[in-house]
Amino acid sequence: MKYISTRGNTESVTFKESVMMGLARDGGLLVPCEIPNVTDKLNDWMHLSFQELALEVISIFADDISKPDLKIIIDESYANFRHDEIAPHVKIGDFYILELFHGPTLAFKDIALQFLGNVFSYILQLRGGSLNILGATSGDTGSAAIYGVKGKPNINIFIMHPTGRVSPIQEMQMTSVIDKNVFNIGINGTFDDCQYIMKSTFSDLDFKDKYNLGAINSVNWSRVLAQIVYYFYSGLKIMKNYGSSSVRFSVPTGNFGNIFAGYLSAKMGLPIKELILATNENDILSRFFNHGDYTLREVLPTVSPSMDIQLASNFERYLFLKFNQHESFRSFIEHGTCKVEKERGYDIDPIFKACKGTTEETLNIIRKYYKNYNYVLDPHSALGVLAAEKIKSNIPTICLATAHPAKFSNTINDAIGMNATHEVLEALKGMPTQSDNVENDVNSVKQYLVDKLNNS
């Protein structure tokens, strides 16, 4: 399997090369040259464990890693999850809640980042050298990325977060990791600012090459690939157990990586009838899928901070696959905005349904599900459930629970008058923390990296 850039000016690369490249050298995102159809494998895959299914799915796209080696990587990646199924589901009311928060940092990002950290180590063992990861987080990616690579030889990780715009617990999870290869950077701005700094730094190819920069955000293709697994795992399991011929998913959406993995799963042959895209008040993606309008607005702080995003990185991958030769894609590349006019024959995939939820609606859903079912949703997962309620269907609906509610205890307290807790987070309280504030400026962050690497 080869990978090409969405912008067409990078030579095709292998899976291992794509992992180390992260962002394509022309500034685009890497996508597979073809989307394989696996319809004939679905009956066999219904009976596999999560790890077994991961091996089957990932090996299709990572065919430059031997299956025995890939099995070791996958088994190591999920050995420290707190649930044997890795991604179990529970029936709550009318929906199946897919719990993706049983990893080390209690967020769905662990499923991809534990895998990516081990792939990085595997490649470095083969080829030698070192890797300096630069990442940006709106909340959960930071701690999951740090836990994915901390302590690994020849890897340093620099994670930028918007100061004051992640939850206190999310910040504590990141900054309490005191490790010589971990650097937390506070940026006075938004996640979009952090992401802009990251992409601008990667675009300086001389700097990227000199300091062996790597990407751990979902611009790295392997992040999306690892997420495809739980769409197949949960979809096939519910179809098998409940006699359904299809399913639909409701996905809290910020950077478009998670739901894009669902889109690819459907393209591969998983019978997904609908992908419900749930946003908060930062509704650029729901505006696009409802009205064809992707126009930037100011980022608003909400109770679902991991979704407080306007510039959704993975959206470029979707536009490339759907509208590669259309002026909307060129407009997106040149200006960061685009419009799709249905009357001109360029329609948006009907598989997508989109819905915006407000802070008040989010809190009300948390209250409702706690009162009616004694089940606590985190504010991001609550938006997914809210969207599924608004967009009704008789098709079995899988709502992605992307984080443990204890990561957002203040919001949970506001909603139901009690704190959500977890022993992993309780153990962090009172621990020393380490973080540096750096100017919201590309050159300032570059200089910070250089200074830290020269002193390491």
User: What Å distances lie between residue 50 and 33, 267, 333, 387, CA to CA?
Assistant: 26, 20, 37, 27
Query: CB burial class (10 A; 0-12, 13-18, 19+) of residue 76?
Result: middle
Please count the other Cβ atoms lying within 10 Å of the Cβ belonging to residue 275: 23
Using the CB atoms, write b or e for 223-239: b if 16+ within 10 Å.
bbbbbbbbbbbbbbbbb
CA distance linking residue 364 with residue 33, whole number of Å: 44
Residues 6 or more apart in contact with residue 79 via CB below 8 angstroms: none
Beta bridge partners of 247: 272
DSSP string, 3-28: EEETTS-S--B-HHHHHHH-S-TTS-
Catalytic residue set? 109
Taking alpha carbons only, the member of 260, 248, 195, 255 closest to residue 224 is 260
Angle at 227 between CA 311 and CA 164, to 5 degrees: 40
User: What Å distances lie between residue 54 and 22, 60, 64, CA to CA?
Assistant: 21, 10, 16
